[in-house]
């Protein structure tokens, strides 16, 4: 088998920025009697975006992170409800999401404004800062887990969305100054792209805004993305000049080489057993199916 595979070329993709035109504006129908859940990053962007969403006929509920994560709370306009998390555990988060649904309406849209670090050095050098970044990322994963049913159901009645907003550099981490943010928050892009594949009806998009863009402009750009009819892209960035880009891979070919430790595909057979975490759905299922077709192996699925 190994001899047969020596001439296989493995594709390597060099990631580059691709310019994009401004998004078109789709005249959308929002799910009736649903709310948009918006996380508060502690900046005026939360206020500007909440106002903009209300003007677009959304009922908005703001989710506040614990003060250990976001020290400042946004002073929201009257009529916009807030729910405060005292910690980021799943045991606390789950009933809070249920309370929102019971008191204000089913959640039909989720927009996460990733908190900016209070101190760049705190994120770069301090263990506590890095742990805070991880805690926020984990909480968004948990929110996605518990909003799966609600968002997918809402999508049957109009545009439902799952949107994450970071403030790396507005160039999806490929800008010149790549030392200002902890890359842990880049996991939001992976989560959003994964959900885009698994939640076919839900509009999923990851947005990276230059941190120097003002609150009003940031809110306008986010709402513009929310109305975009283009479902072929899942991540976009806006630099300080508001130039819109996405990521593309430029393909190169590399000669096939054995795996780590000298192991290669000839050691895989129908007697080989793979232990697979993550359950048997979505992307995990696609990977297992490809391996099964190629090698007729056995699989033990966890989760």
Taking only the tens place, the pLDDT of each residue in 83-132 is 999 999 999 999 999 999 999 999 999 999 999 864 444 445 555 567 88
pLDDT, position 141: 98
145 shares a domain with 183 = yes
214 shares a domain with 69 = yes
272 shares a domain with 220 = no
**Residue 1 falls inside a structural domain:** no
pLDDT, position 6: 44
pTM > 0.75? yes
pLDDT, position 1: 42
301 shares a domain with 186 = no
Residue ranges in the chain modelled with pLDDT below 70: 1-11, 117-129, 177-182, 252-266, 279-280
**Residue 176 falls inside a structural domain:** yes
pLDDT, position 118: 46
pLDDT, position 262: 44
pLDDT, position 181: 58
279 shares a domain with 183 = no
**Residue 261 falls inside a structural domain:** no
* Cα 270 to Cα 36: distance, rounded to the nearest angstrom: 49
272 shares a domain with 244 = no
283-288 long-range contacts (CB < 8 A, ≥24 apart) are: 283/194, 283/197, 283/198
How many domains does the structure of the chain reveal? 2
pLDDT, position 25: 95
298 shares a domain with 196 = no
Question: Which residue segment(s) compose the domain that 76 sits in?
Answer: 16-249
109 shares a domain with 27 = yes
- Phi and psi at residue 242, in whole multiples of 5°? 65, 25
275 shares a domain with 237 = no
pLDDT, position 265: 54
**Residue 255 falls inside a structural domain:** no
303 shares a domain with 194 = no
**Residue 8 falls inside a structural domain:** no
Query: How far are the Cα atoms of 7, 105, 243, 249, 251 from residue 14, in angstroms, in the given order?
Result: 22, 44, 21, 5, 7
């Amino acid at each position: 088998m190994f001899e047969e595979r020596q001439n296989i070329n493995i594709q390597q993709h060099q990631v580059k920025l691709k310019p994009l035109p401004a998004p078109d504006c789709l005249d959308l129908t929002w799910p009736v009697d649903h709310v948009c859940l918006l996380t508060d990053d502690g900046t005026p962007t939360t206020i500007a975006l909440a106002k903009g969403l209300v003007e677009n006929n959304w009922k908005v509920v703001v989710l506040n992170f614990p003060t250990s994560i976001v020290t400042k709370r946004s002073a929201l306009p009257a009529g916009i409800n807030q729910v405060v998390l005292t910690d980021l555990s799943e045991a606390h988060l789950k009933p809070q999401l249920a309370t929102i649904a019971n008191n204000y309406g089913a959640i039909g849209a989720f927009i996460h404004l990733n908190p900016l670090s209070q101190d760049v050095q705190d994120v770069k050098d301090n263990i506590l800062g890095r742990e805070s970044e991880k805690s926020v990322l984990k909480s968004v994963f948990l929110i996605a887990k518990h909003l799966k049913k609600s968002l997918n159901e809402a999508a049957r009645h109009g545009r439902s969305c799952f949107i994450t907003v970071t403030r790396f550099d507005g160039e999806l981490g490929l800008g010149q100054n790549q030392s200002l943010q902890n890359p842990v928050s880049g996991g939001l892009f992976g989560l959003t792209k994964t959900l885009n594949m698994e939640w076919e009806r839900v509009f999923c998009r990851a947005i990276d805004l230059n941190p120097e863009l003002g609150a009003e402009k940031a809110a306008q750009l986010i709402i513009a993305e929310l109305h975009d009819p283009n479902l072929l892209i899942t991540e976009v960035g806006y630099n300080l000049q508001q130039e819109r880009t996405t990521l593309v891979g430029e393909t190169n070919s590399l000669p096939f080489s054995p795996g780590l430790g000298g192991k290669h595909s000839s050691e895989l057979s129908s007697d080989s057993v793979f232990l697979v975490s993550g359950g048997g759905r979505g992307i995990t299922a696609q990977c297992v199916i490809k391996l099964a077709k190629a090698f007729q192996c056995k699989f033990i699925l966890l989760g």
